[in-house]
Amino acid sequence: MAKIHIMDEILANKIAAGEVVERCSSVVKELVENSIDAEATEIKIELKDAGTKEIKVTDNGTGMDKEDAVNAFGRHATSKLTSEDDLYRIETLGFRGEALPSIASVSEVTLTTSTGDVGTIVKISGGKLISVERGDARKGTIFQVNNLFYNTPARLKHLKSLYAELGSITDYVNKIALSHPDIKFRLSNNDNEILNTDGTNHLLKTIKAVYGLSVARKMIEVSASDEDYTIYGYISMPEVHRSSRNHMVTIVNGRVVRNQELNRVINDAYHSFKPDTRYPIVVLEIHVDSSLVDVNIHPTKMDIKFSKLEELKELITNMIHEQLHHKNLIPNAEVEMNPKEEIPRPKYVEQTLTLEKEISEPTEPIITFEEDIPINSDFIEEVDEETILVESQKENNQEIEMKKRMPEMYPVGIVHGTYIICQNEEGMFLIDQHAAKERVNYEYYMKKMGNPNIASTPLLFPITIELSSSEFILIKEKLDILRELKFVVEEFGYQSLLIKEHPAWLPKDYVEESIRKIIEIMIQEGKHFSIEKFNEKVATMMSCKHAIKANQYVDMKEIEQLIYDLRNCDNPFNCPHGRPTTVFFTNYDLEKLFKRSGFENLK
């Protein structure tokens, strides 16, 4: 007797359901994607007990006639692919024809659908057709799933808590709503509304519905394009971040996808603008010819491969860098008040603050573009007037750009030996002196390390670095990199290096310590070593090591110089670790703190 036989269709569907229908959110995903493919403009998802008892998806799409309604539950039945060529240009969210029979095989299903004429009601239980009846003529489809996994107790037993299941469904619906802001989505659980978008095709409004007003206010609109890709969306300001990558939403041709490379590129573009262990909120819509992507990788259809991934990565990186480097990213201090004590904001009245000790006029920064500096005339080259005008214009443009990003401010004191208090006509600034000096140092070291013409300093007494045999083997492969950085280094014996010269930017009092740390970083990176990451790590290490410490005394001239240097940084808003350097209190914030904002005439 033959041992090999063809599986029963219901059994095959149950096996397929193991991949397609993992949990309640998988059912919601497949049904909602079908509604979108049916050109629905309104989709309502109603749950009972987080979908474990009932999932009901109602849409106003094109609907189905009686024949299609029955055939839809057949294995590999689909209206979205008609030939093999269609597989290479997938334009719809669904295409496999596995979802409906898989769902029907592990639940009790009622399908009510109509194209606008006679309606059809199909009932299926555990994969078996129970009945086909006439229904109402309402155009669209209602898909109701009850008692999910009732006939597969092992899967039912391993469902997570109701809160976890509801969280998974909500997360998916949030993302699909962001990917289709032109569709009105409503999600409820046990008649409690969770999400309601307006479907006006305004992405920022959808972000507000998902994340709330406070996040929506701190999103930056971005766009970029080249010959193959068009990108549009919103990225959060660096002060807005989350503990997981889950809020970096990438959408390709209307499909929410997962791609670790894209997530890494987006996160790396924020490097030094935020803490490394936190992740930004990002919603990016990527439009590309469907022949350049492949979504036929996994039954969930969320994994994707790009034909020109490097080109896309560069486009995203440049787009985010362009926005972050041209915005004032100083976070405003959040001043909260009891709503009952909130007083209407008065018209602005200019106040003059009088202190016992007279405050002199704020001094100009030590270095300014207009400052007269004595110059040795022996070294002055003759320059024509046109060149002087061009250079002057460049300096003026730099000063204007600097003021746009980091406004001019004047120091007035220090709190706890750590926080510099500054003011201008807009309000008050608090600057963390350690974080600010770290940023200044970081950009200094990055510039020096990237300059091939940096000077070196010979050592009167060479430094010997002794290593283990494994460390010595690793470092031998990278001696050329040390030499490019202007280290004069030689092998000394079996497991030692002899350092005879070092780059001039190493701090005088920490030469040996800095050299050892640099070699340690190179060893730690091992086979994953890259010169870019090495430069960044060394610059971060050096900047922190030699920054002003908390409670370290600095005089007013040093403070003014620090503020000037910070304002000239490419990113003056964050230290290399992503912490903010500056926090801003508006004049109105200060008035609210002291409950002065409701009084027109203060004496």
Query: In terms of Cα–Cα distance, which of 72, 79, 3, 85 is closest to 39?
Result: 79
Which residues, including other chains, have CB under 8 Å from residue 96's CB and lie 6 or more apart? 76, 78, 299, 301
Domain coverage including residue 527: 455-504+508-545
* CATH number reported for the structural domain that contains residue 343 in this entry: 3.30.1540.20
Are residues 171 and 33 part of one domain?
yes
Does residue 201 belong to any structural domain of this protein? no
Which residues, including other chains, have CB under 8 Å from residue 281's CB and lie 6 or more apart? 211, 215, 219, 235, 236, 240, 241, 242, 247, 248
Does residue 376 belong to any structural domain of this protein? no
State which amino acid sits at residue 501. Answer: E
Are residues 115 and 89 part of one domain?
yes
Does residue 173 belong to any structural domain of this protein? yes
Domain boundary among 162, 196, 230: 196
Are residues 128 and 41 part of one domain?
yes
Check if the beta carbon of residue 457 is closer than 8 Å to that of residue 503: yes
HSE, CB side, 13 Å, CA atoms: give it for residue 338.
3
Does residue 158 belong to any structural domain of this protein? yes
Number of domains composing the chain: 4
Does residue 572 belong to any structural domain of this protein? yes
Check if the beta carbon of residue 432 is closer than 8 Å to that of residue 580: yes
Does residue 189 belong to any structural domain of this protein? yes
Residue bearing the bigger pLDDT, 80 or 329: 329
Are residues 313 and 402 part of one domain?
no
DSSP track, 378-418 = GGPPP--HHHHHHHHHHHHHHHHHHHHHS---EEEEEETTT
Tokens at 544, concatenated: 């922190």
Asked whether residue 358 carries a pLDDT value surpassing 50, the answer given is no
Residue bearing the bigger pLDDT, 448 or 55: 55
Task: Report residue 477's pLDDT band, with 50, 70 and 90 as the boundaries.
Answer: confident
Are residues 223 and 360 part of one domain?
no
Does residue 334 belong to any structural domain of this protein? no
Does residue 281 belong to any structural domain of this protein? yes
Tokens at 338, concatenated: 């009891």
Task: Report residue 530's pLDDT band, with 50, 70 and 90 as the boundaries.
Answer: low
Which residues, including other chains, have CB under 8 Å from residue 324's CB and lie 6 or more apart? 238, 269, 270, 273, 571
Task: Report residue 523's pLDDT band, with 50, 70 and 90 as the boundaries.
Answer: confident
* CATH number reported for the structural domain that contains residue 82 in this entry: 3.30.565.10
Check if the beta carbon of residue 503 is closer than 8 Å to that of residue 448: yes
* CATH number reported for the structural domain that contains residue 222 in this entry: 3.30.230.10
- pLDDT computed for residue 230 by the predictor: 94
DSSP 8-state class, residue 333: P
Are residues 571 and 429 part of one domain?
yes
Helix (H) or strand (E) holding 186: strand 184-189
Are residues 414 and 310 part of one domain?
no
State which amino acid sits at residue 395. Answer: E
Asked whether residue 510 carries a pLDDT value surpassing 90, the answer given is no
Query: In terms of Cα–Cα distance, which of 108, 101, 190 is closest to 149?
Result: 108
* pLDDT digit string, tens, across residues 199-254: 999 999 999 999 888 889 899 999 999 988 999 999 999 888 888 888 999 998 88
Are residues 399 and 310 part of one domain?
no
Are residues 180 and 44 part of one domain?
yes
Are residues 349 and 233 part of one domain?
no
Are residues 153 and 27 part of one domain?
yes
* Alpha-carbon dihedral angle through residues 369, 422, 271, 533, given to the nearest 10 degrees: 60
CA 514 – CA 498 distance, rounded (Å) = 15
Least confident of 37-51, 186-200, 551-565: 551-565
Are residues 561 and 425 part of one domain?
yes
Residue bearing the bigger pLDDT, 372 or 529: 529
CA 476 – CA 213 distance, rounded (Å) = 55
- pLDDT computed for residue 249 by the predictor: 93
CA 362 – CA 359 distance, rounded (Å) = 8
Mean pLDDT of 42-56: 93
